Amino acid sequence: MKGKVYLVGSGPGDPGLITVKGLDCLKQSDVIVYDRLVDDSLLGDVSSGAEKIYVGKSPDWHSSEQKEINLLLVKKAREGKTVVRLKGGDPFVLGRGGEEAEVLAANNIPFEVVPGISSSLAVPAYAGIPVTDRRFASSFTVITGHEGADKDSSSIAWDRISTGSDTLVFLMGMANLSFIVSQLMKHGRLPATPAAVISQGTTPKQQTVVGTLEDIVSRAEAENIKPPAVIVVGEVVKLRERLRWFDNLPLFGRCILVTRPERQAKGLGQLLLRRGALPVELPVIKVVPPATWTEMDQAILNLKDHDWVLFTSVNAVEMFCDRLYSLSLDVRHLAGLRIGAIGPATTRALGQKGLRPDYLPGVYTSQGIIDGFKSKDIAGSRVLLPRADIAGDDLVEGLKELGAEVHQVTAYRTVLADESGTEARQMLLRGEIDVITFTSASTVNNLVAVLGQEWKAIERTKLACIGPNTAAALSRKGLKVDMLAGESTIEGLVQAMESYFQAERRE
């Protein structure tokens, strides 16, 4: 039985630019054969049992030769596997996808090509440079800046290319920038022609240098521009100053450490990416079940003995509902009870379970819950509070002072996640992190524990926290809070970072 190969373009770098069909192929694949410039986050969208094979190449090092890659695709397909050959940009734009397709066709292997967004278009766009504009350019040409080493002479017709197209886009040409520029000027392109070099385009590490053919080499050298880079030549480059948008995003280029549990880190990471930041995950908390479910199960079975069930985190909702279902019950078991949620994220989690809170405080903190309940006359009410094992006593004591009877049960435990060997940790120690985000007192205490004797490295970066309890945990460690969310939500945390850096730029 033969399998099938999908030649999939992953896009230019930003993982959000992969096509819907490309993502669907990844999710259904048995084997992924992927390149160096593919964003690692895309590999998280594949099934856990999928085989991942790295065949990346750089200008001075190849993990696999092209012939080996071709044979690998044939071999895996003949094993009956669904294979995704995941390539940067578009498979058929200077990506050797045509060669791979030829080999598959010659071996009677079924294949499909799933085009990707080419870096020749996307990278200039992210730098604010349209490759065509009716005022300046009605044509553009994409050219390799790195011809195959097996060629005896250049196949680029410099005498025609240089002035034959309004906009010229060179891919993989950083090492040959000086040669490219000299050939263009030698064959008629004016030295004053605008030019740009864009490194690591569409990612938060994007760098753009603008000049003319006469000085672009020295400017790129002065800025230490490294591959991968796209070179753009033509009058459209002049539009960058008016059209630049990506590197004007509020958190562009900021390296931000996310300390939330792995499952919850993605949401914050996505918000940061949309604002141009580079999220770096260092989950210092792991959410695990309690040592025994006896107390939780008993509370669920006796829900009718309560008037309220109050959720103070998404984790509490998830764990509570998982136990509800494991007891062969569903949300109908909560009929007649009133439900409280601490904030919007918890409300959304309840909504996904078919539940809607009766109470949401105006301020999304424990004190906010207490203040809101003052007008609800809960004296004598029985409140079930499923929460973390290390949650503070402020909420329980505050509810009791209002006359409520509180039944607190452990819905989950937060334990230290052993991430001491991660690259994220090393980035922090090397001073490469701009901001550390904290979303609970546990993230503060656990990051200090993960860093051990080197925990003072935290002092060398900016610190952002989600609310007053988290800020207090930082203060207890003698650490200064630089950014405090006005609203105790992930969105509020991101807004606090935006406001901080906007104020810094104004200064």
Q: DSSP letters along 58-98, please?
A: ETTEESS-HHHHHHHHHHHHHTT-EEEEEESB-TTSSSSHH
Whether residue 35 lies in the annotated active site: yes
Strands 278-281 and 255-258: what pairing? parallel
Which residues in 26-47 are b (16+ Cβ under 10 Å) and which e?
beebbbbbbbebbbeebbebbe
Dihedral angle computed from the Cα positions of residues 386, 388, 390 and 393, in that order, rounded to the nearest 10 degrees = -30
d(CA 160, CA 383): 80
Residues 313-349: pLDDT tens digits?
999 999 999 999 999 999 999 999 999 999 999 999 9
Q: If you average pLDDT over residues 434-441, what whole number do you get?
A: 96
d(CA 460, CA 281): 18
pLDDT at residue 420, as a whole number: 58
Average pLDDT, the chain: 93
C-alpha dihedral sign at 479, 483, 487, 491: negative
Whether residue 353 lies in the annotated active site: no
Which of 36-45, 103-112, 477-486 is predicted least confidently?
36-45
Q: If you average pLDDT over residues 51-65, what whole number do you get?
A: 75
Identify the active-site residue in 57, 353, 376, 477.
Answer: 57
305's tokens: 């003995």
- Amino acid in the structure at residue 143: I
Identify the active-site residue in 30, 35, 39, 434.
Answer: 35
Residues 465-501: pLDDT tens digits?
999 999 999 999 999 999 999 999 999 999 999 999 9
181's tokens: 């520029």
Rg of the chain taking only CA atoms, in angstroms: 28
pLDDT at residue 204, as a whole number: 94
Residues 266-323: pLDDT tens digits?
889 999 999 999 999 999 999 999 999 999 999 999 999 999 999 999 999 999 999 9
Q: If you average pLDDT over residues 168-181, what whole number do you get?
A: 96
Identify the active-site residue in 90, 172, 174, 462.
Answer: 172
d(CA 19, CA 89): 11
pLDDT tops 50 at residue 173: yes
Domains and CATH numbers, the chain: 4-117 (3.40.1010.10), 121-247 (3.30.950.10), 255-284+417-506 (3.40.50.10090), 288-414 (3.40.50.10090)
